[in-house]
């Protein structure tokens, strides 16, 4: 036990995890000890009289070892991955869920919390403490603590089973993404830009292969689908992409989804809700499925009409190119790029040489500096878990405020997609604790590493989440950083995307990788003019997934769903164009089924886009995207975490409720949708 780094104080600068000392064998005993200590702390709280300090604040202190171990394990499992870590994850998932429910359903603990909640207006609490007490009480109720013994036992069993199913689902997707690749012969490279060829070479090298391969990393398969003139190979790649998690056998997610949905529905019914969506949305800004449907329907109809215009244009281009027959889903990206070149005199190969990863990363850092006074200094002396990873000391006015870990490149054992997470959250309950934040991306690794403009926006998106964690200024851990309602958490990330598209930022940081020459103004103009191109496709692709999410989580009998048939029925009812598929098919929809975070909440990106498009107009109205007054108001949102209601925070920042007008304009859908104030203004009230 003495050699386990989790059982000793870390002497690393800023309390950074000693990755060089941590091995897979350390995790299980550390988790077990963390759970034992946590339960002992809970028993001590239950044995004490109810008081805010002795109950609510004591709960905030409880489980620190377990939180530390969890922070390291789950981040390493996603970012680094190994068979050993995946085995631990699968074995521990139900045990950790059982532990969590022992705490959440402890009758004595809930009795004390409920007693305080009933007397809350007599306790002399400040506004932050009042919100913490009310949210803590609500959390216990939503976990089932107010139910009878039999119902509490069932809630615990459901939680354990879901933990296993979520873990299996994510591991199945990773298996398919890791195992599949498409070898490319020399002749197959014809027509591919140099950065795609280099990415395919690097992907082969990482797999111990000679030559070139296309993998299911989005940063590689997307440009392949965009530039490869080989329709046969595009069809093969597209089929593999949409089939992730949908193969007969041990890694088939289609058999897991009905059980996941049925267990969620049962949990909701135990708590008095008609379905899981009703349960989930009752504690979201959107409040009800009807509000979500109103938003998605408006955007869907506008996107559908725009996509039909785009389809006709692409079909004409395909016919002119000699395609005999109908445009298919594996043709869209290829012909969209051809049309873009003609319509805007621009193509991705012209733009990409100006987006060097290191420069885009520096642009994000400098944007944070101009808006919020932050600086970032690389610390190669700190332990790291992979050579690609760089850790930065984040400072404000010369004082350390946190660590930022950048993990930018795709790897075979790394989870797909892009995400922000934390190894440690900010708090001041017993003295200052600074955050340790990580950004993961899956950019194709090459020399130099060149990003698409979409990649650059993704980097800024995840960095917006990172700033939400780094700038947090709260007392209590459970209110820290991104611990906000799911349909508000995407606002800081999405509003930051606007800065990488600002001409003044592009002129400074978009520099040619060979000459260091700044991107020409004429190319900036063409790049920005083309941003609304293909937005019908993007809107339909995303919104169909959001609608499918709500349909799945409001279904009256999910246990007996044939997932493939149900998906096709919903898409047919929507009028989904056959040339466009949902962004996420159910069998690889990790937002929904590799965890519960976005279940009945995938619409959150769209709702946050209403906020971010409306919110960025505040800077535009000032004529200065770095206006200090507006930046200070935005910083309040990032600092506040969950200490205030999100709509209250937004109104204080913007001065009014959000409107959909800016979103429709940004997506180029104004002509397809009526212009009016946001009819969702009641959200978050």
Q: Pick the residue with more confidence: 431 or 413?
A: 431
Quickly count: other Cβ atoms within 10 Å of residue 682's Cβ. 14
What beta strand segments (E) does 75-216 contain? 181-184, 212-215
CA distance linking residue 63 with residue 72, whole number of Å? 15
CA distance linking residue 298 with residue 55, whole number of Å? 46
Mean pLDDT for 629-653 is: 97
Sign of the CA dihedral 577, 580, 586, 587? Answer: positive
Q: Which of 121, 104, 136 is nearest to 38 (CA)?
A: 104
Strand-strand pairing, 436-443 and 399-409: parallel
Q: Which of 137, 129, 134, 147 is nearest to 112 (CA)?
A: 137
Distances (CA, A) of 541 to 158, 299, 431, 586: 32, 12, 47, 13
Cis peptide upstream of residue 448 (ω within 30 degrees of 0)? yes
pLDDT at 659: 78
CA distance linking residue 390 with residue 379, whole number of Å? 7
Span 585-613, pLDDT tens digits = 999 999 999 999 999 999 999 999 989 99
Could you tell me the pLDDT band of residue 416, with boundaries at 50, 70 and 90?
confident
pLDDT at 682: 35
Q: Which of 22, 19, 18, 26 is nearest to 1 (CA)?
A: 26
> What single DSSP character describes residue 449?
-
pLDDT at 680: 41
CA 76 to chain centre: 17
CA distance linking residue 440 with residue 79, whole number of Å? 7
Identify the residue whose tokens are 């988790």.
31
Asked whether 457 and 503 are in contact (CB, 8 A), the reply is no
Mean pLDDT for 555-577 is: 96
pTM for the predicted model, two decimal places = 0.91
Enumerate the β-bridge partners of residue 427. 433
CA distance linking residue 221 with residue 588, whole number of Å? 16
Of 198, 462, 490, 541, catalytic: 462
Task: Rounding to the nearest 10 degrees, give the CA dihedral for residues 160, 162, 166, 167.
Answer: 20
The rounded percent of the chain whose pLDDT value lies above 70 is 97
Domains annotated on the chain, with CATH? 5-104+106-143 (1.20.1050.40), 180-242 (no CATH), 356-497 (3.40.390.10)
* 65 three-class SS: helix
**What separation, in Å, do the N-terminal and C-terminal C-alpha atoms of the chain show?**
51
- Judged against a pLDDT cut of 50, whether residue 684 lies above it is answered with no
Span 230-265, pLDDT tens digits = 999 999 999 999 999 999 999 999 999 999 999 999
Strand-strand pairing, 390-396 and 399-409: antiparallel
Strand-strand pairing, 212-215 and 181-184: antiparallel
Q: Is 179 one of the catalytic residues?
A: no
Asked whether 214 and 198 are in contact (CB, 8 A), the reply is no
pLDDT at 2: 58
Asked whether 90 and 167 are in contact (CB, 8 A), the reply is yes
CA distance linking residue 258 with residue 157, whole number of Å? 17
- Judged against a pLDDT cut of 70, whether residue 533 lies above it is answered with yes
Q: Which of 647, 665, 366, 661 is nearest to 491 (CA)?
A: 647
Q: Which of 64, 50, 49, 66 is nearest to 136 (CA)?
A: 50
Mean pLDDT for 157-181 is: 95
pLDDT at 594: 94
């Amino acid at each position: 036990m003495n050699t386990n780094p989790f059982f000793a104080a870390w002497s690393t600068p800023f309390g950074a995890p000693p990755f060089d000392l941590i091995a897979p064998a350390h995790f299980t005993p550390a988790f077990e000890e963390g759970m034992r200590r946590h339960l002992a702390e809970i028993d001590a709280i239950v044995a004490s009289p109810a008081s805010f300090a002795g109950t609510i604040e004591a709960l905030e202190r409880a489980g620190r070892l377990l939180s530390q171990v969890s922070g390291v394990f789950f981040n390493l499992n996603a970012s680094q991955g190994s068979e050993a870590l995946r085995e631990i994850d699968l074995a521990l998932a139900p045990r950790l869920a059982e532990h969590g429910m022992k705490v959440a359903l402890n009758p004595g603990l809930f009795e004390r919390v409920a007693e305080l909640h009933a007397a809350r207006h007599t306790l002399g609490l400040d506004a932050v403490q009042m919100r913490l007490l009310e949210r803590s009480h609500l959390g216990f109720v939503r976990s089932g603590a107010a139910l009878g013994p039999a119902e509490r036992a069932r809630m615990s069993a459901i939680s354990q089973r879901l933990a296993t199913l979520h873990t299996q689902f994510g591991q199945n997707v990773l298996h398919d993404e890791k195992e599949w690749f498409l070898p490319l012969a020399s002749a197959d490279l014809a027509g591919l830009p140099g950065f795609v060829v280099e990415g395919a070479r690097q992907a082969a090298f990482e797999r111990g292969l000679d030559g070139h391969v296309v993998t299911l990393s989005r940063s590689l398969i997307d440009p392949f689908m965009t530039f490869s003139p080989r329709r046969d190979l595009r069809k093969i790649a597209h089929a593999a992409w949409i089939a992730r998690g949908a193969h007969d056998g041990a890694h088939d997610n289609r058999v897991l989804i009905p059980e996941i949905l049925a267990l969620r529905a049962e949990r909701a019914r135990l708590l008095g809700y008609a379905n899981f969506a009703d349960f989930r949305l009752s504690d979201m800004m959107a409040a009800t499925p009807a509000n979500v449907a109103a938003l998605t329907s408006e955007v869907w109809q506008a996107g559908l009409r725009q996509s039909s215009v785009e389809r006709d244009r692409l079909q004409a281009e395909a016919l002119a190119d000699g395609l005999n027959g109908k445009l298919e889903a594996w043709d869209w990206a290829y012909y969209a790029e051809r049309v873009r070149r003609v319509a805007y005199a621009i193509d991705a190969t012209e733009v990409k040489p100006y987006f060097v990863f290191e420069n885009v990363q520096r642009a994000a850092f400098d944007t944070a500096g101009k808006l919020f006074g932050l600086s970032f200094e690389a610390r190669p002396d700190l332990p790291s878990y992979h050579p690609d990873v760089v850790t930065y000391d984040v400072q404000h006015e010369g004082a350390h405020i946190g660590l930022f870990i950048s993990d930018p490149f795709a790897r075979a054992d790394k989870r797909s997609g892009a995400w922000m997470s934390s190894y440690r959250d900010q708090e001041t309950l017993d003295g200052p604790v600074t955050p340790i934040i990580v950004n993961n991306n899956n950019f194709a690794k090459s020399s130099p590493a060149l990003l698409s403009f979409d990649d650059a926006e993704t980097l800024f998106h995840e960095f917006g989440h990172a700033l939400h964690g780094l700038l947090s200024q709260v007392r209590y851990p459970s209110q820290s950083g991104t611990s906000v309602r799911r349909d508000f958490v995407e606002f800081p990330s999405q509003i930051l995307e606007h800065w990488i598209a600002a001409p003044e930022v592009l002129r400074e940081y978009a520099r040619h990788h060979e000459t260091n020459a700044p991107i020409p103004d004429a190319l900036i103009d063409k790049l920005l003019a083309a941003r609304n191109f293909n937005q019908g496709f993007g809107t339909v692709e995303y919104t169909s997934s959001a609608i499918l999410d709500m349909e799945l989580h409001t279904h009256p009998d999910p246990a007996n769903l044939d997932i493939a048939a149900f998906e096709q029925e919903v898409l047919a009812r929507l009028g989904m164009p056959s040339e466009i598929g949902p962004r996420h098919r159910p069998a690889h929809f990790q937002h929904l089924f590799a965890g519960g975070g976005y279940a009945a909440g995938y619409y959150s990106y769209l709702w946050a886009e209403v906020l971010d498009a409306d919110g960025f107009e505040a800077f535009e109205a000032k004529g200065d995207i770095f206006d200090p007054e507006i930046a200070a108001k935005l910083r309040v949102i990032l600092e506040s975490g969950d200490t205030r209601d999100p709509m209250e925070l937004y109104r204080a920042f913007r001065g009014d409720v959000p409107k959909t007008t800016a979103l429709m304009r940004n997506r180029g859908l104004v002509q397809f949708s009526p212009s009016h104030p946001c009819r969702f203004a009641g959200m978050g009230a």
